[in-house]
Structure 1
Amino acid sequence: MPDAPRPTLLFVVTEDWYFRSHRLPTARAARDAGFDVAVACRVAKDGPAIAAEGFRVIPLPWRRGSFNPLSALGDIRRLARLYRRERPTIIHHIAVKPTVLGGFALFLAGLRDTRVVATLAGLGLGLSGTGTKAALGRVLLRLALNAAGWRRGQALVVQNSDDAALLAAGWPRPPASRLIRGSGVDLTHYEELAEPLGPVTCAQVSRMLTLKGVEDLVAAVRLARAQGTDLRLILAGAPDTDSPAAIPQATLDTWAAEPGIEWLGAVSDVRTVWARAGIAVLASRGGEGVPKSLLEAAACGRAIVATDVPGSREVAVEGRNALLAPPRDPEALAAVLARLAQDAALRRRLGLASRGVVDPEFGEAEVGRRMRDLYLGLVTPVPVPRRDGGL
């Protein structure tokens, strides 16, 4: 008798670099559990690295950052054709745009037996706000989830409790969501580091975007230094030229010319950053999923300063391993940074606690195991009880 065909898992994500950075451990866990894995995404420089893992890469010409009706309709039709051609056992939509467009595409494709996982990797400012645009975005998200058939046992994954509550608010029959915090951090790769010697240095590892609060952080460090705190700042991350929120290259160069500020650009191994900086910062202006940069910093034993926004609070725990500041408030952020820079004992206490926050719940192995079990649960038949009560 021939072997049963392997179930197929199709990831749908906007960018190849994001999949490689955040989702490879989950894909490996699925492969090792017996799935054939394919990845549909916009392909740039990281496509070959994904293919080298044994995953089939399917190019998608996403119009990044665009939700205008004409381009969205084109993306939906393109996805529907892909779904009809591939007929995967499970489709995993990652982030808001693939979830919204992919949900409508699945309905259009008419694949009633395909299982769907939707991971909302942070609702961000676009959906977590209180304005009309954010409310409309949440309505579209709910319609897309309905179109994908979550009422038929599909899986909705959120990365923080704030997003779970926001999705449920005002929804007559909210979908059951699973809380799986983040995409995981390699706890063997990121080991606790000794606190650096020399002047106190803080660092933010992120894309150089306004939404990440980089401008607020630069302003805060300027204030702290002007008020007498000897504090240095390292910015690590590339300018994301495809994003409308990108900070211009000229601005980054100007900052890097200032005393006490260093911009490294893209860094291949962020452990080199945390070897130099004793304070990890993420000054995000809006909701995150669970920021991987903070997970990596916490695994390295760094004290954290973060803005008090969804997602960041999952790993930056006020008073335990972190100090929080309100978003979009450079003055408050400067005060928190100055306090930590001037208190070596507090830095040590928070840094020593950081590793315990992420280990083991945020580890790659734990996140991969939970996602693997979710996939297997969707394809494993549930025994139907007999009338006599047996199985």
Structure 2
Amino acid sequence: MKKKLLIVINNAKFFLSHRLSLAKAAKVANYDVHVATPVSPLIEKIKEEGFSYHAIQIDRCGFNPFKDIFALFSLWKLYRRLQPDIVHHVAIKPVLYGGIAARLAGVPAVVNALTGLGFIFIAQSRYIRILRSILQQGYKLVFQHKNTCVIFQNEDDRTQFLQTKLLDPNNSVLIPGSGVSMSAFYPMEEMPGVPRVILASRLLWDKGVGEFVEAAKILKQKKIDACFILVGGIDSENPAAINQKQLEHWESEGLIEWWGESTEMLAIMHRANIVCLPSYREGLPRVLVEAAASGRAIVTTDVPGCRDVVCDGENGLLVPVKNSEELASAIEILIQNPELRKEMGRRGRARVESKYELDKINFQTMMVYETLLKKIS
């Protein structure tokens, strides 16, 4: 008899980009796969893949007591109606509210995947510190489910949760990201012309976009010939979002080009000479894994998540967080050393193949499912 798997995620686009291959692998392994996301124009694509779809109402960002209580209640109703054997929550709100709902509904096995600790673990205002304390207590409640596993994408995040005694270490596992297909991302010779330095991400201040633009300004003043490009959309729901007026101002000053959002990431990687992500903190940044698989040298920050993908001096350069001068210096080194870029790109692809290859990552997650389900069989 097929085991019923429900994947709960607060963004249909993120499911298709990061978890679709896992859902397909589960289907091949004879799971009855269900997917729950907020309503989106992408729902039909999920259905076309052969998965049962369920609409949920859960915001990605912010805290609204009324909306959040309703989200928790709606998840509880879904779990009671669907009776899944195992639920896989992805991201902060699904983990928190879905985890509580799963305990109340008696879901027999629960996987909680933390894809990063988010804005609330980066900001340090008094209000955010209070919210963080409340969130930690919520996590502690969720992680006390009798048959659960928490998936972390990097060891720093896992250590932080263990040190604050939010979970039993036996109920956690490290799986580095969602994996990248080595056939979908492959190397190609750099394009001729002015070197392109590309930052591809959601356009948020805590992705280091401000430092990226400042580094572009520093190198422009030094007469270093390079083109700095932002690829990504405006995430208006996020409190750290950069608005369109600011982006247009930077463009008008000739500091950057803004190419907007793109789903053609392989083409973006092939147009880059250097991929840059000066983020303040990550889970395991897929864009850097894609860059490495595509044979591109990387400049990123020495922070959780980013330093997991990049080994300093091997497949890229690590710089201190929030330091535009050091960022500019590292970018300049790679701009002026095409052979070093090429060698770093070669090493980066080998690193991805050994640690982040898609089938290996999916297999690790499937083993988590099997371990939990054995306890209830």
TM-score normalised by the chain length of structure 2? 0.93
- Contact kept in structure 1, 2:144 and 2:167, CA below 8 Å: no
Give the aligned length: 375
- Contact kept in structure 1, 2:139 and 2:166, CA below 8 Å: no
1:311, distance to aligned residue in structure 2 (A): 0.6
1:103 is the counterpart of 2:129: no
1:174, distance to aligned residue in structure 2 (A): 3.2
Partner amino acid for 1:293?
Answer: V
Partner amino acid for 1:362?
Answer: Y
- Contact kept in structure 2, 1:99 and 1:145, CA below 8 Å: no
Give the Cα separation in 1 of the matches to 2:79 and 2:276.
Answer: 41
1:10 is the counterpart of 2:2: no
Q: Which entry has the higher C-alpha Rg, 1 or 2?
A: 1
- Contact kept in structure 2, 1:167 and 1:174, CA below 8 Å: no
Give the Cα separation in 2 of the matches to 1:142 and 1:356.
Answer: 40
Residue equivalent to 1:182? 177
Give the Cα separation in 1 of the matches to 2:243 and 2:249.
Answer: 10
Partner amino acid for 2:250?
Answer: W
1:32, distance to aligned residue in structure 2 (A): 0.9
Q: What stretches of structure 2 of length at least 5 have no aligned partner?
A: none
1:171, distance to aligned residue in structure 2 (A): 0.9
Q: Secondary structure at the match of 1:275?
A: helix
Q: Secondary structure at the match of 1:243?
A: coil
Residue equivalent to 1:85? 81
Which stretch shifts more, 181-190 or 367-376? 367-376
Residue equivalent to 1:47? 43
Matches within 5 A, 1:246-325: 246-259=241-254, 261-285=256-280, 287-325=281-319
Residue equivalent to 2:159? 165
Which stretch shifts more, 249-258 or 328-337? 249-258
- Contact kept in structure 1, 2:319 and 2:327, CA below 8 Å: yes
Residue equivalent to 1:387? none
Residue equivalent to 1:388? none
- Contact kept in structure 1, 2:58 and 2:68, CA below 8 Å: no
Q: Secondary structure at the match of 1:44?
A: coil
Give the Cα separation in 1 of the matches to 2:132 and 2:254.
Answer: 42
Give the Cα separation in 2 of the matches to 1:304 and 1:262.
Answer: 19
Q: Secondary structure at the match of 1:92?
A: strand
Q: Secondary structure at the match of 1:190?
A: coil
Q: What stretches of structure 1 of length at least 5 have no aligned partner?
A: 384-391
1:156 is the counterpart of 2:146: no
Q: Secondary structure at the match of 2:228?
A: strand
Give the Cα separation in 1 of the matches to 2:98 and 2:358.
Answer: 26
1:108, distance to aligned residue in structure 2 (A): 2.8
- Percent identity between matched residues is 35
Residue equivalent to 2:340? 346
Give the Cα separation in 2 of the matches to 1:97 and 1:382.
Answer: 26
- Contact kept in structure 1, 2:13 and 2:42, CA below 8 Å: yes
Give the Cα separation in 2 of the matches to 1:317 and 1:333.
Answer: 16
Q: Secondary structure at the match of 2:346?
A: helix
**Aligned counterpart in structure 2 of residue 197 of structure 1, from 192, 197, 212:** 192
Partner amino acid for 2:156?
Answer: D
Which stretch shifts more, 258-267 or 47-56? 258-267
Which stretch shifts more, 136-145 or 89-98? 136-145
- Contact kept in structure 2, 1:101 and 1:144, CA below 8 Å: no
1:313, distance to aligned residue in structure 2 (A): 1.0
Partner amino acid for 2:343?
Answer: R
- Contact kept in structure 1, 2:299 and 2:318, CA below 8 Å: yes
Matches within 5 A, 1:109-120: 109=105, 111=106, 113-120=107-114
Give the Cα separation in 1 of the matches to 2:164 and 2:375.
Answer: 33
**Aligned counterpart in structure 2 of residue 365 of structure 1, from 355, 359, 362:** 359
User: In the superposition, relative to structure 1, how do residues 343 and 298 fare at CA in structure 2: closer, same or farther (>3 Å)?
Assistant: same
Give the Cα separation in 2 of the matches to 1:128 and 1:162.
Answer: 14
1:199, distance to aligned residue in structure 2 (A): 1.5
Which stretch shifts more, 16-25 or 248-257? 248-257
Give the Cα separation in 1 of the matches to 2:7 and 2:169.
Answer: 21
Give the Cα separation in 2 of the matches to 1:135 and 1:157.
Answer: 25
1:277, distance to aligned residue in structure 2 (A): 1.3
Q: Secondary structure at the match of 2:30?
A: coil
RMSD, aligned α-carbons: 2.1
- Contact kept in structure 2, 1:128 and 1:134, CA below 8 Å: no
1:105, distance to aligned residue in structure 2 (A): 1.6
1:65 is the counterpart of 2:85: no
Which stretch shifts more, 303-312 or 172-181? 172-181
Partner amino acid for 1:89?
Answer: D
| 1:198-238 residue CA offsets vs partner (Å, 9 max, x unmatched) | 21211011111222111220111111111221121121111
Give the Cα separation in 1 of the matches to 2:116 and 2:60.
Answer: 17
| 1:343-372 residue CA offsets vs partner (Å, 9 max, x unmatched) | 223222222211011113211111111111
User: In the superposition, relative to structure 1, how do residues 161 and 129 fare at CA in structure 2: closer, same or farther (>3 Å)?
Assistant: farther
Residue equivalent to 1:224? 219
- Contact kept in structure 1, 2:7 and 2:87, CA below 8 Å: yes
Give the Cα separation in 2 of the matches to 1:223 and 1:84.
Answer: 57
TM-score normalised by the chain length of structure 1? 0.90
Residue equivalent to 1:35? 31
- Contact kept in structure 2, 1:41 and 1:59, CA below 8 Å: yes
User: In the superposition, relative to structure 1, how do residues 173 and 154 fare at CA in structure 2: closer, same or farther (>3 Å)?
Assistant: closer
Give the Cα separation in 1 of the matches to 2:51 and 2:79.
Answer: 17
